[in-house]
Structures are given as C-alpha cells and as structure tokens.
C-alpha cells in the first residue's frame, strides 16, 4: 500500500510537470506587440518648440491647468535634470526589462484571453516610491527613478526595508502586483485572515504570471528572509491560531503582519529580531496554494472566491 501511494504521488508529479511544460510552450507562442515609450527621455529633452507635440502624444501626462511655461521650467529644473540624467544612465536601454514584460504579458493573455496589450510608458516621478507602477486598462506607467538600485544616492534617508526593492529586477514584479489587484475581487477586508488571503491570491497570481521570478522576488524578500519564514512556518501558524488572530478585526494587526515593515511584530523579542515583515502575506500564500492543490478551481474563479471559503477548503496545515 505504501509503495502504491508513492507511485501515485510520482505519477501525479510527472503529469503536473508535463502539463506545466505544455502550458509554457503554448504561452511562449503567444504574440504580444508593443514598444516601451520613453516619456522620461522625451520630457527631459523637451523644448518650447517640441513640447506641443509631446503633449499631443502623451496628453494624460500633462495637467491642463498649467501653461507650457510651467512644464519648460520643470524640464530645466536642476532636480529634474538630475533625475533625467541618472535614469538615462542606468536605463540607456530596456532590453532585459522588455523581455520580462513580454513574458508577463504572454502569461496574462493565456490566462485572461480578453487581456489587451497596453501602452507601456516610462517616466520619472521625483522618487514617488508609493506609486512605482500605475496600471490602467490601456496604460502601464513605470517610474524608472524608483528602480535605480537600492544604494542609489537618491534613496538616502529611505528605510532599508523599502529601498531593497528599488532595483530594476523588481519592475515586472510590481507590474504583476498592479494587475493582480485589478483581477482580484474581495469584499472589504475585515479580519487578519481576509488580509492574508487577499495577498495570498496576489502571490499565487504571480506564481502563474511571472514563473521566471524567484519566490523571494515575488514576495520582496531576500533569500535569507524567505528561508527563515519557510523554516518557521509551523511556529508562525501556531502563533496565529493560539492567539486567535485569524478572525480578529483588530486594526493593529495589518501593521504587525501585513504592511511593509523591517520585521513582523509578534512582541516576542527573540522572534521579532529575526523575522521579516509582511509574514501574514507568506502564510496567506501557502493557504491559497493548498486550496488550489485540493480543489478543481480555475485561477479566475479563485481570485473571486470568498476568503473564508478558501481557508475552509484548503485544509492548510504546515508540516515540518
């Protein structure tokens, strides 16, 4: 019986691998046609004579209440010139970034056939790192000055746990976050579990849309941080259960376990010093994975499913 169970497991793994490979072959054959429009460069080189054409090409980048003189003054501003120069130096081309974005768009098209390739536009934003990527139905706007490298001089004074993601490798990850938020439907989060499942959905979405990225990159952890949460998953889960936090509506819990932070706040000195922030997202990710493994549900349906239903039908139980 033991040998039969082992054989069944091996056959399941082999079948799953073959299916995944077949999917990737189909996805690779999908055509996506777009260019990366360098508004950051065009704006940095704008003059009084070229500005009208630039405004016609990118009307959504210019607030109509400001006259042309305002925009020319901005182009010539010392800070803006430095932003333009530094961004152009670090991103003279975007070949690797376009390759990853193309892979991402192909996966989107495979899982969401109605997806239409948007305009992809790069800009600078005076390091507005809370809006690194903006996604709409027709446009993706990427602020390149938020991806210059975590040690860049522009980021002095920004906390390390935030600027560790200010690298070019994170661009497509942030794009995937933006699209996940557009596809996920969930009633207003009330409990910690609601928050955990929401971000678990987001991370599972990234599993399928950007499989070429590591798990650490998907969740914005270092490899060391990811290894810590994997090694301590059962203890973290036990803490949530024993402290009855899952169904709590305590408004402080997201800041302790969901929102960006240098570490998660268990209020246990020996753990807080070692744990990475946002650990609730990782646990939510594992719950969603367990749900998808145990239920015959499409990605689209899962993204619309109630968090309680996902939790109750996941049979999630971390093991050593």
pLDDT, tens digit, 9 for 90 and up, residues 254-268: 999 999 999 999 998
Q: Indicate the pTM of the whole model.
A: 0.91
Closest alpha carbon to 23 in 223, 200, 208: 208
Based on the fold, state whether residues 232 and 251 are members of the same structural domain: yes
**Which residues partner with 37 through β-bridges?**
121
pLDDT for residue 139 is more than 60: yes
Closest alpha carbon to 276 in 149, 161, 197: 161
Using 50, 70 and 90 to split pLDDT, how confident is the model at 318? Answer: very high
d(CA 98, CA 104): 10
* β pairing state of 119-123 and 139-143: parallel
- What is the model's pLDDT at position 126? 95
Q: The tokens 């036990």 sit on which residue?
A: 238
User: What is the 3 state secondary structure string of the chain?
Assistant: CHHHHHHHHHHHHHHHHHHHHHHHHHHHCCCCCCCEEEHHHHHHCCCCCCHHHHHHHCHHHCCCCCCHHHHHHHHCCHHHHHHHHHHHHHCCCCHHHHHHHHHHHHHHHHHCCCCCCCEEEEECCCCCHHHCEEECCCEEEEEHHHCCCCCCHHHCCCCHHHHCCCCHHHHHHHHHHHHHHHHCCCCCCCCHHHHHHHHHHHHHHHHHHCCCCCHHHHHCCCHHHHHHHHHCHHHHHHHHHHCCCCCCCCCCHHHHHCCCCCCCCCCCHHHHCCCCCCHHHHHHHHHHHHHHHHCCCCHHHHHHCCHHHHHHCCCCCCCC
d(CA 315, CA 201): 16
- What is the model's pLDDT at position 128? 97
Based on the fold, state whether residues 46 and 178 are members of the same structural domain: yes
Q: Which of 10-14, 193-197, 243-247, 287-291 has the lowest mean pLDDT?
A: 10-14
Based on the fold, state whether residues 249 and 172 are members of the same structural domain: no
Mean pLDDT for the chain overall:
93
Each residue's pLDDT tens digit, 176-226: 999 999 999 988 889 999 999 999 999 999 999 999 999 999 999 999 999
For the segment 121-133, the average pLDDT, to the nearest whole number, is 97
Each residue's pLDDT tens digit, 286-313: 999 999 999 999 999 999 999 999 999 9
- What is the model's pLDDT at position 21? 59
Closest alpha carbon to 51 in 75, 35, 86: 75
| Domain count for the chain | 2
Helices 192-209 and 279-294 sit at what angle, rounded to 10 degrees? 70
Q: Is residue 252 part of a domain?
A: yes
pLDDT for residue 73 is more than 50: yes
Domain of residue 217, residue span:
192-312
Based on the fold, state whether residues 282 and 249 are members of the same structural domain: yes
- What is the model's pLDDT at position 269? 77
Based on the fold, state whether residues 252 and 307 are members of the same structural domain: yes
Q: Is residue 12 part of a domain?
A: no
Based on the fold, state whether residues 227 and 122 are members of the same structural domain: no
- What is the model's pLDDT at position 5? 45
pLDDT for residue 3 is more than 80: no
- What is the model's pLDDT at position 19? 53
Q: Which of 84-88, 98-102, 201-205, 316-320 has the lowest mean pLDDT?
A: 316-320
CB 175 within 8 A of CB 135: yes
Which of 154, 183, 212 corresponds to the end of one domain? 183
pLDDT for residue 8 is more than 50: no
Q: Is residue 85 part of a domain?
A: yes
Based on the fold, state whether residues 173 and 256 are members of the same structural domain: no
Based on the fold, state whether residues 53 and 157 are members of the same structural domain: yes
For the segment 219-242, the average pLDDT, to the nearest whole number, is 96
């Amino acid at each position: 019986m033991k040998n039969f169970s082992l054989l069944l497991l091996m056959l399941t793994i082999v079948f799953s691998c073959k299916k995944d490979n077949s999917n990737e072959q189909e996805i690779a054959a999908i055509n996506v046609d777009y260019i990366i429009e360098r508004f950051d460069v065009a704006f940095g080189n704008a003059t009084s004579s070229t500005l009208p054409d630039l405004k016609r090409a990118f009307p959504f980048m210019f607030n109509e209440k400001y006259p042309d003189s305002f925009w020319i003054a901005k182009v010539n501003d010392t800070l803006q010139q430095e932003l333009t120069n530094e961004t152009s130096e670090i991103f003279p081309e975007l070949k690797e970034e376009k390759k990853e974005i193309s892979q991402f768009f192909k996966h989107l098209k495979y899982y969401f056939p109605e997806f239409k390739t948007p305009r992809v536009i790069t800009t600078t934003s005076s390091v507005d790192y809370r809006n690194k990527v903006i996604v709409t139905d027709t446009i993706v706007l990427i602020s390149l000055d938020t991806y210059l490298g975590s040690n860049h001089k522009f980021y002095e004074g920004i906390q390390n746990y935030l600027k560790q993601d200010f690298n070019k490798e994170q661009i497509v990850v942030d794009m995937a976050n933006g699209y996940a938020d557009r596809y996920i439907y969930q009633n207003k989060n009330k409990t910690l579990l609601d928050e955990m499942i929401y971000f678990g959905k987001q991370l599972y979405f990234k599993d399928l849309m950007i499989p070429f990225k590591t798990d650490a990159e998907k969740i914005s952890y270092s490899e060391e941080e990811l290894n810590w949460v994997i090694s301590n998953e059962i203890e973290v889960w036990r803490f949530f259960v024993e402290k009855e936090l899952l169904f709590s509506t305590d408004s402080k819990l997201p800041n302790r376990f969901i929102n960006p932070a240098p570490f998660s706040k268990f209020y246990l000195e020996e753990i807080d010093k070692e744990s990475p922030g946002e650990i609730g997202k990782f646990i939510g990710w594992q719950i969603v994975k367990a749900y998808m493994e145990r239920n015959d549900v499409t990605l689209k349906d899962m993204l619309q499913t109630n968090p309680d239903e996902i939790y109750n039908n996941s049979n999630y139980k971390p093991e050593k």
